[in-house]
Chain A
């Protein structure tokens, strides 16, 4: 018996080299073909083995990446039909209420896309919803990076690139919002022109430069079109590439936990698991954009009418990502500040100085934090937000400040919806802008400390089991489940390690913090059952008829 098996096992090793030379499967042949020509197998192998963390918060940046891809796809379709010309035409398309109205070719072609191009309206709407999602996803991704300290050395440059992506996203979105040349977007451009004019010394010239003369001129739509479809997307794509390249070079950060160190990285490999997850998630993002594009009307330009500088609609708002600037303009007092014998227009402060300060602070934050904490070392392990209360508090403060500005950008609609005086809304916004951020800081700081204390309490006393015991002497005690060995007083010996502390009984026993599933009883995972069956089958195959009981 042994000799035959030896013979059999020898056979492949003799033929081995030949088999590697000549692959038999189609995939193997394709692989050989490309390897002979590209020689990329080594690099591919490395990339396919790249490890992605499995924490959910790492997928928020992916929403932004995927919505960018959706934007490119849907935007390319729109360029086939959009005419970025401000030449006047008389509309004779199928939307009757605008029949015979003078409008620019840009607006007419947008109406054409909406009503006469097959599938045009849904593509337009998908494009617009994806744009809103792109900006929102970048923002929440930024929140994740901020609150977990992922921006720290060596990743400050990626933080700055991300900030650049958000800034360019604002420009890109505003350019796209302006292209249809409807009454709403024209009003937005009018305000943009006013903001340019408000720049001291060069204001008028800046407006002339951008608009090719005085507002509105005849060139701005064509210029914005090239900015929107070529210039900014090109830079965005390049920056996204740099963002990802740095990510791959520096590897992912990860939360502290058992077996996690500054030198290691853990998670799912790109191929096969993470690639499947990410690919599937792309389709979920696309599905959300498509569902919104099909079910919820966005930017109905036909209701707004063509742009005419003599007209303006009440309730004209920018898309949400510009909303904070609208809000700051509404809240800022109409102070005419004189500097060096020149009046600075009031619009200059809330629309240029304020965002300048906000973005500068955001860009400088990683360096400021390193300076104030004297932390010059590199970090690949993240921090839980509760463990850095000052940073978390500052973040909450910034988000509250931004949130008040954003809400104030729509304060007329809130006033209308809830029958509040618009003047009261403005004053409430001003007061909230000054009062709420410090309050948010204080509350967040306190919450962080409370969470820290609770973590340490559980480490010391164990998890509350919910069992109350009556001792023979009549005393009631609550039974705690210690997390590790205890000392003479029954106190836990474990130190806080910066990772999640289990707080409930069903969180025990899994080092990665995944709860055991099941509401009343633990749900047995298919993989576990399969593992037991495999072990049983293997045992039977070895002839060891050891009965293994499958417990349910």
Chain B
């Protein structure tokens, strides 16, 4: 693959957050170069550049005071450690510059630390083989390594960021009703009203959410991994995301007041129980009654 191909691939992204968060790269000018008017193009480029610089500078200023701790914000050591992890485990499929390798893996430019966190902390990445979808596995890296890897990808391509470790991602119990409504409206059509998951077409699945942590739920909504749509902060605000997380986690932790939950998968399990346990006991009973003259 030539260098030009890579640049084209970047340009085709048209991914606004990456541009904003990554002002130093060539992407803005290349995207702008398609536009017709020279003056407007230069003015727009300037505006984007100023905006991007302000965003990065402001963002850094906001994050800098809290970055002294362990894993919340990216230090240069974190980025360096992340680069080493990347070069060990990710580079084969995602390329030396996160540009992706045709037939192996997609570009990671603009995916951000949130996507890295979701994919690696759920064990989906690094993937042993190519497939229609990756399933949840035991993660290969520690939480700190995952954040370092995320910091590296963030530093290279920008994108949605993983929320810091000390952030409370669960809304209060007064938000449960709203969270439930949002969950049923946006999530239940694939994951099911009880979050037990469901198959999609052709072997793909919407996984169950019973092993997901708050941060995994949050980052999944933010980046929309695999077949899941992106629920950006414009569609579902961070507060609403936290309400959804509160609802999902409360529902998961809640005991079943009616007895055994039967997997919370509804009438199919119930039908199975009545035909095996219910009718089974009764058939044994009638055999017993019939045998006792």
Contacts and interface: CB of A to CB of B under 8 A. Distances in A.
B250 A304 contact: no
B223 interface: no
Instruction: Select the residue from A183, A280, A285, A305 with max chain B CB neighbours within 10 A.
Output: A305
A33 B274 CA distance: 46
A69 interface: no
Contacts of A91: 177
A272 to B, nearest CB: 14
Q: Give the interface size bracket for B toward A.
A: 35 or more
Instruction: Select the residue from A55, A292, A423 with max chain B CB neighbours within 10 A.
Output: A292
Given A97-B247, A284-B282, A292 B273 contact: yes
A195 B194 CA distance: 26
Given A97-B247, A422-B201, A514-B291, A60 B274 contact: no
A313 B265 CA distance: 11
B224 to A, nearest CB: 17
B4 interface: no
A297 interface: yes
Interface string A269-301: 000000001001100110011001011111110
Interface in B268-293: 268, 270-271, 273-275, 277-279, 281-282, 285-287, 289-291, 293
A297 B262 contact: yes
Interface stretch (A351-359, A407-415, A532-540): A407-415
A311 B190 contact: no
A96 B173 CA distance: 8
A505 interface: no
B244 to A, nearest CB: 12
A97 B206 CA distance: 23
Given A54-B290, A99-B176, A320-B271, A315 B192 contact: yes
A56 B260 contact: no
A129 B274 contact: yes
B239 interface: no
B165 to A, nearest CB: 27
A128 to B, nearest CB: 8
B290 A55 contact: yes
Q: Give the interface size bracket for A toward B.
A: 35 or more
B180 interface: yes
Contacts of A132: 270-271, 274, 278
Interface in B179-229: 180-181, 184-185, 188-194, 196-203, 205-206
Contacts of B190: 314
Interface stretch (B7-15, B88-96, B144-152, B251-259): B251-259
B41 interface: no
B277 A416 contact: no
Interface in A301-326: 303-305, 308, 310-320, 323
Given A59-B290, A415-B199, A416-B199, A320 B267 contact: yes
B136 interface: no
A413 B189 contact: no
A315 B265 contact: yes
B266 interface: yes
A337 interface: no
A328 interface: no
**Chain A binding site: helix, strand, loop or mixed by DSSP?**
helix
B124 interface: no
B281 A313 contact: no
Contacts of B262: 296-298
A32 B257 CA distance: 53
Contact of A296 (B184, B193, B273): B273
A295 B260 CA distance: 6
Given A59-B290, A133-B274, A303 B251 contact: yes
A63 B282 contact: yes
B264 interface: yes
A412 B199 contact: yes
Contact of A59 (B177, B250, B279, B289): B289
Contacts of A413: 198, 265, 268
Contacts of A136: 274-275, 278-279
Given A96-B173, A316-B266, A416 B205 contact: yes
A424 B188 CA distance: 23
Contact of A311 (B185, B251, B291): B185
A114 B257 contact: yes
Nearest to B250: A97
Contact of B266 (A96, A97, A317): A317
Contact of B194 (A101, A304, A423): A304
Closest 4 CB pairs of A and B: A320-B271, A56-B290, A297-B258, A314-B198
Interface of A: 54-57, 59-60, 63, 91, 96-101, 114-115, 121-122, 125, 128-129, 132-133, 136-137, 140, 183-184, 268, 277, 280-281, 284-285, 288-289, 292, 294-300, 303-305, 308, 310-320, 323, 409-410, 412-413, 415-416, 419-424, 514
Given A63-B286, A101-B177, A132-B274, 9 more contacts: A56-B286, A97-B254, A100-B174, A183-B193, A281-B285, A281-B286, A296-B270, A300-B256, A315-B198
29 contacts: A54-B290, A55-B290, A97-B254, A99-B174, A101-B177, A121-B257, A132-B271, A136-B275, A268-B293, A295-B260, A296-B277, A297-B260, A297-B261, A297-B262, A298-B270, A299-B267, A300-B258, A300-B264, A303-B194, A304-B193, A305-B180, A308-B181, A308-B184, A313-B188, A314-B190, A320-B267, A320-B268, A412-B199, A416-B205
